[in-house]
Amino acid sequence: MQHLTKNELEALLYVARKNSESDWLMILTAYWHGLRASEVVCMTGAQVRDGYLTVQRLKGSNKTVQPLTDEEREPLQRLAKQVGPDGRLFPIHRKTFWLRVQRYGKLACIPAHKCHPHILKHSIAMHTIKAGIENVQAYLGHKNLSSTGAYLKVDDETASKAIVAAAGVK
């Protein structure tokens, strides 16, 4: 499964923050909470409360309530207070979010095939799958384990690198 490496994620966030604090926060939140583009751009102030983010997932997934990370807590809570409970935190269209991730990805020298918002959901899943598939399933709000199981699949490049590393070949 294609995902951003930790270095690519850091580069994407760095470039986004240099350009727009709001875009950085939107990308960071989408990553940490495994949000779809539609989920992040439709977030309201009411979803941020007492250091937690409540997400009613789309596509039939389960609702999740997750603690905010130290990095996002203060700016998200400030933004939620500013827009009020019914105001959208990131009032843009999902296509605009897609274009921004594409633009920042290009500036961060990330391969074009990885420059889309859903890569953030794939990335948090791949970065955390070692915590246990059942934990990732609950965190992403998947009703079926088969949805989470997709993250157990790797692409050819990842498989090749793992085999070379395991075999001790340079």
Beta bridge partners of 24: none
Give 169's contacts (C-beta < 8 A, 6+ positions apart).
none
- For residues 154 and 158, what is the distance between their CA atoms, to the nearest angstrom? 6
Number of Cβ atoms within 10 Å of the Cβ of 123: 23
Question: pLDDT averaged over the chain?
Answer: 90
For residue 116, give the amino acid letter: H
57 neighbors 64 (Cβ within 8 angstroms): yes
Q: Higher-confidence residue: 150 or 43?
A: 43
- Whole-structure pTM value: 0.82
The Cα diameter of the chain in Å comes to 57
Q: Decide if pLDDT at 3 tops 60.
A: yes
44-77 pLDDT, tens digit each: 999 999 999 999 888 888 888 999 999 999 999 9
- For residues 73 and 48, what is the distance between their CA atoms, to the nearest angstrom? 9
* DSSP conformational letter for 44: B
Angle (CA) 87-116-37 rounded to 5° is 25
93-133 pLDDT, tens digit each: 999 999 999 999 999 999 999 999 999 999 998 888 878 88
| Percentage of residues of the chain with pLDDT beyond 70 | 92
Helix, coil or strand: residue 66: strand
- For residues 94 and 129, what is the distance between their CA atoms, to the nearest angstrom? 27
| Domains, the chain | 6-167 (1.10.443.10)
Which of 96-105, 149-158, 161-170 shows the lowest mean pLDDT across its residues? 161-170
- For residues 141 and 116, what is the distance between their CA atoms, to the nearest angstrom? 21
